[in-house]
Each structure stands twice: as C-alpha cells, then as structure tokens.
Amino acid sequence: MTTIDGSGPGSGVSTPPFLSSISRRTSISLSLPASRRGSGTVPTMTGKDLPFHHRTHEDEELPHATKKTMADHLRKYESLFTLTPQRMRMIVDAFEETLDKGLQKEGEVVPMIPTFVFGWPRGSETGSYLALDLGGTNLRVCLVTLAGGGKFEITQTKYRLSEEQKQEEGELLFDFCAKCLKTFVDSYLADFDLQGAAIPLGFTFSYPCEQERIDHGRLIRWTKGFGNPNVEGYDVAAMFRASLAKHNVPVELVSLINDTTGTLIASQYVNPRTRIGVIFGTGCNAAYMERIGNIPKIKHLGLPDDGEMAINCEWGAFDSFTHEHLPRTKYDIDIDQTSNKPDEQAFEKLISGRYLGEIFRLVICEMIDDGSIFLGQNTYKIEKPYVLETAFLSLMEADPTEELLTVVGIFTHFYGLETTLAERQFFRALAKLIGTRAARLSACGIAAIVSKMGYLEQGCDVAADGSLYSKYPGFPDRVHQGLFDIFGPKGNNIRTVHAEDGSGVGSAIIAAMTNERRAAGLFPHC
Ligand code: BGC
C-alpha cells in the first residue's frame, strides 16, 4: 500500500483552473452557515496531514444524489459484495481440495511449491546476513544480525519501484537490485574487514517460482502487475547472480525464498505457536510447514517421509482460469480482463492492495456513467485506471470526523470533485464493503489450511504481514470474524499475529539454516 502525499499545491485549497464550474460554486457556498464549510487539514494514518476544503451544499443548484438514492445504491452493492458464512464454507471446501491437488502433481493451478526450507528454525541461528526483498511495491535491502535466542537486529533501506521498472527488460530490474545492494554494502559494511569473503545473502523474491533447491527458482509467472520481459521461465537466482557479478557486489546468494515463507520462519523464530505465514499486501499468499510424506510430487527425491518442508502455496491463483468458486462482480471481471494477466491470480484480484482501490473506482465510474453522482462536475481525473489507491479506502474508513472531512479532502484534492455528506457516507460504506469482502475471503484461505492440517482443535497463530493487514483499519478483526463465521466459536482458536519484517529477517534465518546444512554436508536436498 502506498502512502498519500498530502502536500499538494496550496494545501489543496486552491481550485485548479479546469474546474471553473466549481470555482463559481465556491462563491455560492459562501452563503452557507460557517460551520458547514472551511479549509484545513486532517491527520492521516501515514502521519501526514491531508488538506481539505469543505463546501457542504446539500441544497445547491447542481444535481447531487439524495440520501434516499444513496441508500438504494448501497443496498445494491451490499448484496454484491457481502459473503455469507454459508458461501464462505463452500469456498473453504473447494480451496482445501485445490491445495491437496497442488501437492499431488506439478502444473496445478495453485502450485503448492516445495521451498526446500526444511523444518523450523531452532532459534539459536546466529550471524550477520544481507537480505534483499523484491516485493510488489518496494525493494528493501536489510542487514540482519541474528543474536540467537529469537533475538535479532535489523538495518534497512527501502526503494520505491516505479511502474516503468516493473515493465522494463528483466536484466535491468536485476541490475537495479544489484546496484541498490552495492550502495548499501558500500555505506554500511565499508568498515568490516571481510577478508575477501563474500557476505551471505538471502533473496526474497515474492513471485511464484518453482524450486529444485533453495538457491534456485524458475519464475512461473509475474504477478502484481509486473511484466518484465525475459524472466518468466528463467532461474531468477541465476539472473540475479549475473547482475551481482556484473556490478562487483561482494555477496553470495545463499537462498531464494518467498515473503510468506520468510514470514512463517521469522515468526516461528520468536513465537513457537506459529503454523502459517500469510501476506496481505500488494499481493496475497500463504506458506505453511508440510510433512514431506504428504507431498507426493517430490517423492522421487527420496527425502525422509517424516521430515518437514515449508510449502509456498501461491494461493493467489486459486480459482484462476475456471472461475468456478469465487463470487466475482462485474468490476472484478473488468479488472481481471484489463490486467496484464487476464484470468490469472483470481483470488488475489479480489483481495490484495493492488486491486481494492480500483474496484472502488470502477463502482464510482459506473455511478458517474449512469448519472447518479457528480453530475455537472468534471470527472476526468477519477476516470483514469488505478488513480484511486487502496490507501484511500483505509483513510475513508478511518475518517474520525462527523462530516467525513478526510473523504472531502480525498475527493477535492486528488480528483477535484465536490461531495455531499450523503455521498461521502456512501463512499465510506462502499469502502467498508470492499475491505470486508477482502478480509472474509482471506479468512477462507486461512481456514482451508487450518482445516487441511487439522489445526482447529488445538489452535495456532498465523503470522501475518503486508500493508492491508497492518494498515487497513479493522482488517485483522474482520479476518477473525470470518474465521468465527466459518468454524463457529472454535474459529477463535486461530489467531492472526502481526509479524513485522518477516521477509527480511526470515530470509536471514533461512540463509543461516542453509549454511548450517551445508556445513553438515546436507545440501542441497535435505
Ligand atoms: C505472489 C506471491 C507473494 C504475494 C505476496 C503474490 O502476487 O505471487 O509470491 O507471496 O504476492 O507478496
């Protein structure tokens, strides 16, 4: 999820020239009672102030939807976006079946990827490791020092990826990662005498990769809007190694992991009740620990049946291509069909932070088209795909003011649109519907793993990270409510816990575990 830059020109109060009709209406609104208009700022979740210019005008001359019509609209969207417990249980059953299928053979829609992370960390892993985390929105470089006993220290820098970087030639993307890593090494590790040794690196690459061993991963497909050519089908670890060599970065790529596996392992390092790791961010996915005997598709490796290996589910792909189980609305179908990967990541497209704002925007555009809102206003700004970020839904839901001044601020500042209180209440309710559906579907995914693994009776912790989980108001509570609706009171035995920095710390722990196995002569396969 991205942060809102609320520092626009003139604190958002000045009216842009293209909104001449609004400028005219500013003078009309001056006759309204003082308490119903004004300018100022409201604090946002990101710590920045969001400017607003408030002109309430229920009775102005330009047409606005009435309270009653907004209530009618809301009822329609409620029925589209609400998931009943019964429907959720049906989804869980289909989900569980799909997870089982993925363990049987290669090429299934939900690939259930064996990660070659063997079992839980002992908690006593130590040493300093670099971790590079290529996520959906940012690139993070971390230096993690594991102190043993579940303790660690982390130093990190973050780079925002531009939309162009997500589409450029694959080699350039890995070159960029290598250069960022080099800058980090030069600034933070210059004083270390490495005595010619390369620094061990854990690479968190959060896209579906088929693995033959832990330091290898063939990209199955890009997700989260990435489309860099010449990476799908290739070993991304090898591509990254080539970039590291090209830029003379003194590191050795030890392990390639997914962010969910990192979250699972990092959380277990400090909390032994952890059984599942989930990410609800720009993308969504889960990992858990499976008994090797229950992974028929790797039987040929001859690993001990009673050993354990983490599975990266890649559950974002659930219901892709066939679209049999998930309740897709026409807005979801529109997003899917206009995406760079139509028909793929069907589950993720209903849930993750990359898409929720866009679902909301498509509903708004439909209402603009049928003349229900913003009549007579210039709406071109909001009609551009993906201009409405999921962070705005969070802000609308979290608006503490009675008049919904944050919502005023968002619509005037970013889209030059005026709103009535009835409209704002509707927008907030719509954000809630979309956010709640995402949380309840997320609960279905968790429930499928819980049910498959038989964790319900004893209960377990689910390590969760990602901007949606950590920043969207009420998201964890809605997931918990969803688990209750699926399982009844026993659903309370399943608790999600915020696991920060899993993809960095987890990568370091896994690199440490891998080095220990190497030292014990167990690499690559057990
Ligand atoms: C990717 C997963 C990743 C998830 C969360 C999905 O789009 O396919 O590999 O774990 O996003 O980052």
Residue with tokens 């839904």: 393
Point out the residues that are catalytic: 206, 221, 259
Cα–Cα distance, 399 to 428 (Å, whole number): 9
Q: Determine which residue's CA is closest to atom 9 belonging to ligand 1.
A: 207
Q: Quick one: CA torsion of 98, 100, 103, 106, rounded to 10 degrees?
A: -40
Cα–Cα distance, 151 to 145 (Å, whole number): 9
Find out whether the beta carbon of 11 lies less than 6 Å from any atom of ligand 1. no
Q: What is the pLDDT of residues 279-294, one digit of tens each?
A: 999 999 999 999 999 9
Q: What is the pLDDT of residues 230-285, one digit of tens each?
A: 999 999 999 999 999 999 999 999 999 999 999 999 999 999 999 999 999 999 99
Find out whether the beta carbon of 262 lies less than 6 Å from any atom of ligand 1. no
Q: Determine which residue's CA is closest to atom 7 belonging to ligand 1.
A: 283
Find out whether the beta carbon of 133 lies less than 6 Å from any atom of ligand 1. no
CA 317 to ligand 1: nearest atom: 8
Q: What is the pLDDT of residues 331-361, one digit of tens each?
A: 999 999 999 999 999 999 999 999 999 999 9
Find out whether the beta carbon of 465 lies less than 6 Å from any atom of ligand 1. no
Q: According to the model, what pLDDT value does residue 526 have?
A: 52
Nearest Cα to 129, choosing from 142, 138, 116? 142
Q: What is the pLDDT of residues 373-383, one digit of tens each?
A: 999 999 999 99
Contacts of 49 (CB under 8 A, 6+ apart): 6, 41, 42, 43
Tell me which of 259, 282, 315, 351 to substitute to probe ligand 1's pocket, judged by most ligand atoms within 8 Å of the beta carbon.
259
Tell me which of 140, 209, 224 to substitute to probe ligand 1's pocket, judged by most ligand atoms within 8 Å of the beta carbon.
224
User: Picking from 63-72, 262-271, 494-503, which range would have the lowest pLDDT averaged per residue?
Assistant: 63-72
Q: How far is the CA of 211 from the centre of ligand 1 (A)?
A: 15
Q: How far is the CA of 41 from the centre of ligand 1 (A)?
A: 36
Higher pLDDT, 432 or 12: 432
Q: Report residue 190's pLDDT band, with 50, 70 and 90 as the boundaries.
A: confident
CA 135 to ligand 1: nearest atom: 12
Q: Report residue 525's pLDDT band, with 50, 70 and 90 as the boundaries.
A: low
Q: How far is the CA of 284 from the centre of ligand 1 (A)?
A: 5
Residue 233's alpha-carbon distances to 211, 218, 384, 387, in angstroms, are 12, 6, 33, 32
Q: How far is the CA of 286 from the centre of ligand 1 (A)?
A: 8
Q: Report residue 50's pLDDT band, with 50, 70 and 90 as the boundaries.
A: low
Interval 97-111 mean pLDDT: 97
Instruction: Report residue 303: phi and psi, to 5°.
Output: -80, 155
Q: Report residue 524's pLDDT band, with 50, 70 and 90 as the boundaries.
A: low
Q: According to the model, what pLDDT value does residue 34 have?
A: 32
Q: Report residue 418's pLDDT band, with 50, 70 and 90 as the boundaries.
A: very high
Q: Report residue 38's pLDDT band, with 50, 70 and 90 as the boundaries.
A: very low
CA 283 to ligand 1: nearest atom: 11
Q: What three-state secondary structure class fits 126? A: strand
| Residue 26: pLDDT over 60 | no
Q: Report residue 320's pLDDT band, with 50, 70 and 90 as the boundaries.
A: very high
How far from the centroid of its chain's Cα atoms is residue 464's Cα? Answer: 11
Q: How far is the CA of 43 from the centre of ligand 1 (A)?
A: 31
Q: Report residue 49's pLDDT band, with 50, 70 and 90 as the boundaries.
A: low
Q: Quick one: CA torsion of 373, 377, 380, 384, rounded to 10 degrees?
A: -30
Find out whether the beta carbon of 283 lies less than 6 Å from any atom of ligand 1. yes
Instruction: Report residue 109: phi and psi, to 5°.
Output: -60, -45
Residue 478's alpha-carbon distances to 83, 207, 231, 350, 442, in angstroms, are 12, 26, 37, 15, 9
Q: According to the model, what pLDDT value does residue 370 have?
A: 92
Find out whether the beta carbon of 279 lies less than 6 Å from any atom of ligand 1. yes
pTM: 0.88
| Average pLDDT in the chain | 88
Q: According to the model, what pLDDT value does residue 66 have?
A: 73
Cis peptide before 43 (omega within 30 of 0): no
| Residue 451: pLDDT over 80 | yes
Cα–Cα distance, 263 to 281 (Å, whole number): 13
| Residue 95: pLDDT over 90 | yes
SS3 of the chain: helix, strand, coil, percent, to 5: 45, 20, 35
